[in-house]
Chain A
Amino acid sequence: MPVDLKRINGPENTVSYKLYTPSKTFKEELKCLFKSNNKRQDGRNSLEHRKMFIKTGIVSQAKGSAYLELGNTKVIVSVFDPREIPNKTDYSQKGVLYCEFKYATFSCPQRRNFQQDSEEKQNSIILKQSLEPAVCLHEFPNFQVDIYALILENDGSSLSAAVTCACVALAHASVPMYDLVTAVTMGVVDNQILMDPTLKEQQLCEVFDETDTKSDHGIIVTSFMSTHQQISQFYQTGNINLENISKSISISTDASGDIKLLIEKCIVNHVLKGANKSNEE
């Protein structure tokens, strides 16, 4: 493993103390998921989305940018002006999106590296594929639009937050689009579907207790264009049966429609503000 020499590392041949601290068993963790009144730890129902805050025009240097808060998950996405595709000699009929998904080094409980790791690379690809069907790529042939998503704090569902935020940022950058893309994360654990899981819940859905192999677990991220009723990207991992997947699809498409209304309002606000300003002048 590469060691960062600029940091003070523990001596060699040492192991983390966490190995020896008593940890809760999976069953106990599962019990902690819900409070006695069948609500989740933050007081939500199992199919309730967290409150969302969106703001456009955060990064002044970028052509378009947006900031999104989803509970404690915080994302900034900036979109830059189209530029010629670098290192390419032949003409391409369609424009290209370049996406970079990055966790800030301080965003997770464990420190992240400056370089993209494989999870971040995978998320970059998913982000790109979620947005691509919505953007009118033929409008800027031979050009590339750069999209940078930075997760400032990760408290679960960061990928879907990045997709939604990137869509707002693209709209703010006035990139022509067919539709707005909104994404929702669903967690499945112990045959229960949780919408918009927090980091704790997400970890429970991903890591699974070996002793009980029957029940389902996993994460589903759905990116949806609600005007056209099209799923632009569907990513699932874990171990889930068809029934739960079809249930999650219908739930998340509905939720996406709700989020879209929110986004629309935010964009309309931005336009109105701009119009008022020019009126004053």
Chain B
Amino acid sequence: MALCEAEKTFILHSVEENFRIDGRQRGDYRPMELETNIVAPSFGSARLRLANTDVLVSVKLEIDSPTLEQPKLGKIEFFVDCSANATPDFEGRGGDNLATEISNCLSSAYKSSTAFDAGKLCILKGSKCWKLYVDILLLECGGNLYDAVSLAVKAALWDTRIPLVKSVVVDGNKVDMEVSDELFDCERLDVTGAPIMVTVCKIGDQCIVDPTTAEEHCSGGSVVVAVSKSNFSTILQTGGGSLHPMTLLESLKLGQTVAQRLDSTLINTLKQINDNSTDVGFLK
């Protein structure tokens, strides 16, 4: 997207006046739509649409062996795929840089055991554990990718059901395990601590959340803040530019309050979703 100087000034002034180009205030989000259980061949899935940003997340499970350093922990892996549907620039391997940036940020945010307890994914210490594959598909980019992705990931993990392991038999070096055959014999993951990421964008002298693509272009620097409960699990500056220490602290504070607000709204929304509603998907 290319913006001329006049457009940039217009956006700058709109942020200054606390009345952004789409009528929002600085701390406001655009409308969101969330749907869970949308991809059939996975254990949990969610689709989030934040204005023009569209993210589809699916969670798959596999049995794996834990790493040597952490024999008591299960594994979680994030894979981001930037679909060329979003922009022709992502064709071929064009979206790889953005994809690694987002997936690294996610894995760093989920690394702490207070944010996400991987110990629950362990089946037998040192030999068997669940591996969660969290696959994120970016279908449309309309600004504020990190926030949308983190919300969708949390919703998909909420939706995920892990089959119960009935028995584990250890015979010498061989480990046999039996997974329950019953379709509904499964447990949900505990995701209350799962981090929510908020991108705080500095435009002019002010900080805003949920920037549109145009606003992202005018930003002098932005910080992605991942907040789990009330603590920070990851902070990362993105998109070039530098910040004064005081500005950084202010944006951290803003990010923290916004993330907590977002988190409680998400949990409330997820609780309202009932299982027997019909699938809408992309047909709406």
Contacts and interface: CB of A to CB of B under 8 A. Distances in A.
Interface of A: 13, 15-16, 18-19, 118, 121-122, 125-126, 129, 132-133, 206-208, 210, 213, 216-218, 220, 225, 228-242, 245-246, 249-250, 253
Interface stretch (B11-19, B37-45, B204-212, B242-250): B242-250
Contact of A242 (B71, B109, B253): B253
A147 to B, nearest CB: 16
B249 A237 contact: no
Given A13-B173, A245-B232, A245-B235, A118 B107 contact: yes
Contacts of B68: 15-16, 18-19
Nearest to B174: A13
Interface string B161-202: 000000000000100000000000000000000000000000
B116 to A, nearest CB: 11
B237 A231 contact: yes
Interface string B66-77: 001111000000
A218 B115 CA distance: 12
Given A129-B238, A234-B223, A253-B245, A241 B100 contact: no
B126 A15 contact: yes
29 contacts: A18-B68, A19-B68, A118-B104, A121-B100, A121-B104, A125-B101, A126-B236, A129-B237, A133-B221, A208-B112, A213-B114, A217-B112, A218-B232, A230-B242, A230-B243, A230-B244, A231-B237, A231-B243, A232-B237, A234-B223, A234-B248, A237-B108, A237-B111, A238-B112, A238-B233, A239-B112, A239-B115, A240-B232, A250-B245
A209 B97 CA distance: 33
A229 B237 contact: no
Interface size class of B (residues with CB under 8 A): 35 or more
B235 A234 contact: yes
B52 interface: no
A239 B117 contact: no
Contacts of A249: 245, 248-249
B243 A118 contact: no
B127 interface: yes
Contacts of B228: 239
Nearest to A209: B113
Contacts of A125: 97, 100-101, 104
Given A18-B68, A206-B111, A245-B252, A237 B243 contact: no
Contact of B235 (A132, A207, A235): A235
B253 A231 contact: no
Contact of B233 (A228, A230, A237): A237
Given A242-B252, A245-B252, A210 B233 contact: no
Nearest to B66: A19
Nearest to A129: B237
A217 B228 CA distance: 13
B114 A208 contact: yes
A208 B126 CA distance: 18
Nearest to B235: A236
B71 A19 contact: yes
Given A18-B68, A242-B232, A218 B248 contact: no
B142 interface: no
Nearest to B256: A242
Interface string B242-284: 1111001100110010000000000000000000000000000
B230 interface: yes
A93 to B, nearest CB: 11
Nearest to A15: B126
Nearest to A213: B114
A126 B104 CA distance: 11
The 5 A-B pairs with the shortest beta carbon distances in the complex, nearest first, are: A230-B242, A236-B235, A122-B104, A133-B242, A239-B112
